[in-house]
Amino acid sequence: MNIVVTGAAGSGKSTLGLELARSLGAAFLDLDTLTNPLLEGLGAELAGGAHWNDPALRPLVRPARYAALRAAVADQAAVGLDAVLVAPFTAELTGGAEWEQLVEATGEPPVVVWLRATPELLAERRRIRSADRDAHVVDPPADSAPLVPHIVVDASLSTTQQLATVRRSLGLGRPLPTDSPVFGRTFAGGLFDLDGTLIDSTPAVNRAWQQLGREFGLELDLVAAGHGQPAAKVIAALFPAELADEALRRVIEIEAAELDDVVALHGAADLLGSLPDSSRAIVTSGTRLIAGNRVGAAGLSAPSVFVTFDDVTNGKPHPEPFLTAAARLGLDPADCVVFEDAPAGLAAAKAAGCATVGIAGTHDADELDADLVVDGLYQLRVVPQPGGGFRLAPA
């Protein structure tokens, strides 16, 4: 399998491509790495000293650069090696003759990963890296997605989150330990975190907190500040006391309306739907308004028991949210398994006495203190038991 990672200059495609190649054990072929040293070396020899990325030189330089990339990937294919290719691929991804040339070089249509970035994000990243070639970049419209089939990845996510998105889309989960004690237990209930476990709302959440930061003149890193914890707790840690109430009101308002690209994660609907309503609950640090809007936007069917920030006095990492959910289901917390993507949520689940399944992606797997760590709910299935309850098994 060959993978193409594409996006505008500054979208982070080289960083993602390198990590993707490393995780797959594939060759890493970056258009810039392969061709820029030669072009920089030619320097003044090119058309009277113009920069090689100048639009006037593009009809000459671009075909040669991509020919070099195609030759390199063809060599990898000839010896049976997969490759991750990184380049803008603006012409190739329209699906015309250039795409056919790329398919011929790779031997089969490659998987296309497109990093979607806002103009503001691109401008800031280019300002930071200050590369000469960026001065000659001509960007396509921000919403000009590839015309060939592709996986969309938000450029504002961390590399860990981006890598998890791609691997989930490809069904490339980590091998699960078949001897995990989680697989040997019978459970009465499944308690599901929402964001990062059942739904992918990270780009929308990031946009909401970035907007909040702009409105209040602050730079906010939500994951570093406490992903999985109630917004009120994060606000208290980031904002002066005199602004906390106003900031909390505003972020709830923004998050409730920010629903673009909120989607169910691979396998979430199937696993949630495989449990009877009397054996499942959603337990989230979000407000009922935000959580309800996101569940609806993702197309999930909400269970009857839905514990939110509005239902508890103490949010995660306190065990109260999971204790409340178990009580509403009429179950002993020790007979429940919790599905969580955040350290704070896993700490809450353990304190409640529940078994835990960590969902890697928002955080690295080694940050998740769970009884079992998976890459997504698609790796699990529910096995109903004749005497009641259910077991989990690898899908």
Question: Would you please indicate which residues are annotated as catalytic (active-site) residues?
Answer: 193, 195
Retrieve residue 105's tokens: 């070089």
The whole-angstrom separation of Cα 215 and Cα 225 is: 18
Q: Which helix (H) or strand (E) holds 179?
A: none
The whole-angstrom separation of Cα 343 and Cα 329 is: 24
Retrieve residue 362's tokens: 């928002």
The whole-angstrom separation of Cα 250 and Cα 268 is: 30
Retrieve residue 149's tokens: 């089939």
Give the DSSP letter string of 269-323.
HHHHHTS-GGGEEEE-SS-HHHHHHHHHHHTPPPPSEEE-GGG-SS-TTSSHHHH
Retrieve residue 107's tokens: 């031997």
With vertex at residue 64, the alpha carbon angle to CA 70 and CA 30, rounded to the nearest 5 degrees, is 50
Phi/psi for 184 (5° steps) reads -95, 0
